[in-house]
């Protein structure tokens, strides 16, 4: 039996992580062919060459083809992994810098920067999804592309393709408890609810027992990891995503961002230059050390868990960005949430979540409103809808601020937003 996987955006520096996980799961996920697709021929060839060497070093062999033809890559694939960045890191830098001029955090998935990334990305992802729908309708899209929650909302609303929107942040509460209490992963259980990069772990239990005050004290200090204040974590009695620092400590984050010589996007550009020099070296056959500076890894573990569950029709509980479908009372049925789901060959089934703590209600509802307006604006090119999206976002929310901020950001992205500029 043959199994093909397509990787759209294979020139990403994260692609070797997928190779590594595929080798670990070679007995349970017998992939015979990988189709690397990327519009950047230079990055594509460098990555394909390195991954062939890396695969050989790991003692496994899967055919790797490199193509700039997306339809060729998708055709015959069982899974289509998407990890694209429309506009590259150059646009990310603008997403970071422009909002700071207005006193708003500039970040690639949160606030105005995340909105513009979504406006650039959603039309491109919908093109891919419609090609999958036409030529590989049984294939699942496994999405790494950020903002993954908005991407999943768009694909679920406008196509019939099965998509899993993934984020390694789903493991954050687990990792915090493991580090703080020194307990094994298998002993930890928690409920989980929110949106991508705006979520909480709650009802946290170790060996079936809810955490006591002493345990929360230890976890609060670990779970902050330089982001959300430890005292606030103790007060809320939930483990928040580190991205919530942009809401809970916005002024601090803006001040810190303005004080830095380089934005994160500019830093990443320098790291990527170093990483790709290593990838291009014919003598390089292991992941370069510079890759550890890139951050944002860990997706491949979840992605391969999804593929393994589907391929082997094995029930697996995985946190996915998927439509609510009644899992959380008070949220729209079609709204994409980041929640635990049962996954197998039959599909994705959101699990009913217990009563959600009150501390989560307001912020998640506001940002969900922003997300739904943003998806609509990305598809229609309506400035009015985009303005409503920005007005709905808790970090903006002021008309006199939103109008000039939106105009400047749209103009800075004109080459990637034809839907707004005819």
Which residues are the active-site residues? 243
| C-alpha dist (Å) from residue 180 to 200, 225, 237, 242 | 17, 11, 15, 16
User: Which contacts of 370-376 are long-range, i.e. CB under 8 A and separated by 24 or more positions?
Assistant: 370/115, 371/149, 371/150, 371/153, 371/195, 371/336, 372/153, 372/335, 374/115, 374/118, 374/119, 374/150, 375/118, 375/122, 375/150, 375/153, 375/154, 375/157
What DSSP state is assigned to residue 414? G
Q: Helix, strand or coil for residue 221?
A: helix
| Cβ neighbours, 10 Å, residue 105 | 25
Q: CA 392, CA 390: separation in Å to the nearest integer? A: 5
Q: CA 4, CA 35: separation in Å to the nearest integer? A: 7
Phi, psi of 215 (to 5 degrees): -70, -40
Distance from the first to the final alpha carbon of the chain: 47
């Amino acid at each position: 039996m043959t199994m093909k996987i397509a990787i759209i955006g294979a020139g990403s520096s994260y692609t070797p992580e997928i190779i590594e996980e595929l080798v670990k799961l070679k007995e349970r996920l017998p992939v015979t062919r990988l189709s690397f697709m990327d519009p950047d021929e230079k990055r594509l060839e460098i990555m394909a060459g390195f991954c062939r060497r890396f695969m050989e070093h790991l003692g496994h062999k899967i055919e790797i083809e490199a193509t700039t033809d997306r339809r060729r890559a998708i055709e015959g694939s069982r899974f289509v992994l998407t990890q694209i960045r429309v506009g590259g890191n150059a646009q990310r830098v603008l997403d970071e810098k422009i909002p700071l001029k207005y006193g708003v955090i500039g970040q690639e998935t949160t606030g105005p920067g995340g909105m513009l990334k979504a406006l650039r990305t959603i039309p491109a992802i919908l093109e891919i999804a419609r090609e999958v729908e036409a030529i590989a309708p049984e294939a699942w899209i496994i999405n790494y592309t950020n903002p993954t929650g908005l991407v999943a909302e768009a694909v679920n609303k406008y196509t019939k393709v099965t998509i899993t929107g993934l984020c390694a942040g789903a493991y954050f509460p687990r990792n915090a408890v493991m580090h703080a209490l020194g307990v094994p992963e298998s002993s930890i259980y928690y409920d989980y609810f929110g949106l991508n990069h705006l979520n909480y772990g709650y009802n946290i239990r170790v060996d079936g027992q809810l955490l006591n005050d002493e345990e929360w004290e230890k976890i609060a200090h670990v779970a902050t990891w330089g982001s959300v204040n430890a005292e606030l974590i103790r007060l809320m009695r939930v483990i928040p995503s580190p991205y919530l620092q942009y809401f809970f400590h916005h002024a601090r984050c803006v001040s810190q961002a303005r004080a830095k010589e380089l934005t994160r996007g500019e830093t990443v550009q320098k790291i990527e230059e170093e990483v790709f020099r290593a990838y291009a070296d014919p003598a390089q056959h292991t992941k370069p050390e510079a890759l550890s500076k890139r951050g944002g890894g860990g997706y491949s573990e979840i992605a391969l868990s999804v593929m393994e569950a589907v391929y082997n029709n094995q029930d697996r509980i995985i946190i996915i960005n998927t439509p609510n479908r009644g899992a959380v009372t008070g949220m729209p049925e079609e709204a994409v949430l980041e929640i635990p789901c049962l996954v197998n060959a039959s599909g994705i089934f959101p699990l009913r979540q217990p009563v959600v703590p009150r501390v989560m209600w307001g912020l998640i509802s506001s940002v969900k409103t922003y997300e739904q307006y943003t998806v609509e604006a990305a598809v229609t090119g309506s400035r009015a809808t985009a303005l409503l999206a920005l007005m709905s976002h808790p970090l903006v929310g002021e008309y006199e601020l939103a109008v000039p901020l939106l105009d400047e950001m749209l103009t800075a992205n004109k080459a990637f937003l034809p839907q707004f500029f005819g």
